Structure 1
């Protein structure tokens, strides 16, 4: 059963468990030029959630980089928290969760005069905020690929061989990866998880399949889940 923490729990965790200061880390800029503009007034709901696959995938790609440069130190690589800060995978992918997220992104968090989280709003801007949010809300829940891991390792090895000129049925592999990806649930309740199976299927699709990149994505992603 999927479990999502109530918003009040995030507030409690943020108040009690963020033990190490984070404010001395300079936020790293993000290139968001390829994302649609969202206006100057801060929104309270993720605008990239319903603008089509291309915008959604672009937001995830930019948000992935931005999160890992600016947020992973406290919130964990791949948004898997080690307990230092809230596990943002379980922040609900709807307006209620968005409001909490964007307020904290804009204003940061200070406790007893110590900055636990910088205010990113003016430094990174709204497009960066929602790109990171899109990446966060598409993270798979714990254990979602456990059953599929042995087969994904086999597919990874086959893709490596195909990158070196070996034979393989690209369409069948893409269909299988897509089928696995459809079974993966997010922690946030978002309908599609940006899992390694999803990424690998995407990378071998189209007119120029990138077998090596897909194999590397599986290697890195499966390593991270174990």
Structure 2
């Protein structure tokens, strides 16, 4: 078995027997106004995956908020499970993985009469569901991130220095380097785009002192979350 297959199989097995009781947590609403409508009938495949990159990125950002409010307690920050719930990062970014995710999201999960996961479907709606799914599938490969961390920290330190003194700064060159890193980072789900520290830094890097500061912060936060 590959790392992805083995990890997903084990996490789903563990989740079936060890998941934390989540029934006492009230689902928190998710503002999805920035996302296009996807219809009333529940879909079986992530619609945002095939849309424009700007929409996919918006879904990631909205999904991050929804995930952190409703899912992180059991499934872990940055979707890195502590072992008591399925590690959703390994859920394939294709129809099978989408169906499994949506079934649990809509109906929840009960074991021996105990609610391990509440039903979020009617409370949060389909747009929120697919936004959270998009955020989950875009998690970067943590082992690859660990390998790249020393080089990304060097870029982070350079950005922090430019934020203090921008003389001699090369934003175009920095953007090119970060973009190269971002494009090389893979997801554990097989999704084509990884929402990594590098990609987040590229988004805010605009050649200004504030942009250097924000990019350095994005790398600091992203690299901290990867460990």
How has the CA–CA distance of structure 1 residues 135 and 51 changed in structure 2, closer, same or farther, with 3 Å as cutoff? same
* SS of residue paired to 1:4: helix
Distance in 2 (alpha carbons) for counterparts of 1:89 and 1:7: 8
My pick for the range that moved more, 125-134 or 148-157, is: 148-157
Distance in 2 (alpha carbons) for counterparts of 1:137 and 1:193: 8
Q: How many residues get paired? A: 225
How has the CA–CA distance of structure 1 residues 200 and 2 changed in structure 2, closer, same or farther, with 3 Å as cutoff? farther
Query: How much does 1:13 deviate?
Result: 2.9
Instruction: Report what 1:148 is aligned to.
Output: 148
Is residue 181 from structure 1 mapped to residue 182 from structure 2 by the alignment?
yes
Distance in 2 (alpha carbons) for counterparts of 1:206 and 1:97: 39
CA contact (8 A) 1:4 1:188 kept: no
Instruction: Report what 2:23 is aligned to.
Output: 23
Distance in 1 (alpha carbons) for counterparts of 2:124 and 2:67: 12
Query: Which structure shows the bigger proportion of residues in helix conformation?
Result: 2
Distance in 1 (alpha carbons) for counterparts of 2:44 and 2:82: 28
Instruction: Report what 2:4 is aligned to.
Output: 3
* Cα displacement string for residues 168-213 of structure 1 (whole angstroms, at most 9, x for unaligned residues): 1001001001111122110001111111011111211489972222
Instruction: Report what 1:64 is aligned to.
Output: 64
Query: How much does 1:149 deviate?
Result: 1.3
How has the CA–CA distance of structure 1 residues 206 and 156 changed in structure 2, closer, same or farther, with 3 Å as cutoff? closer
Once superposed, what is the RMSD of the aligned Cα atoms?
2.0
CA contact (8 A) 1:2 1:187 kept: no
Query: How much does 1:119 deviate?
Result: 0.4
Scaled by the length of structure 2, the TM-score of the pair is 0.92
* Cα displacement string for residues 90-127 of structure 1 (whole angstroms, at most 9, x for unaligned residues): 00000111000001000000111111001000111000
Scaled by the length of structure 1, the TM-score of the pair is 0.93
Distance in 2 (alpha carbons) for counterparts of 1:97 and 1:6: 14
CA contact (8 A) 1:4 1:91 kept: no
Instruction: Report what 1:44 is aligned to.
Output: 44
Distance in 2 (alpha carbons) for counterparts of 1:60 and 1:77: 15
CA contact (8 A) 2:205 2:211 kept: yes
* SS of residue paired to 1:64: helix
Distance in 2 (alpha carbons) for counterparts of 1:8 and 1:79: 16
Distance in 2 (alpha carbons) for counterparts of 1:38 and 1:206: 36
Give 5+ residue unaligned stretches, structure 1: none
My pick for the range that moved more, 83-92 or 166-175, is: 166-175
Instruction: Report what 2:217 is aligned to.
Output: 216
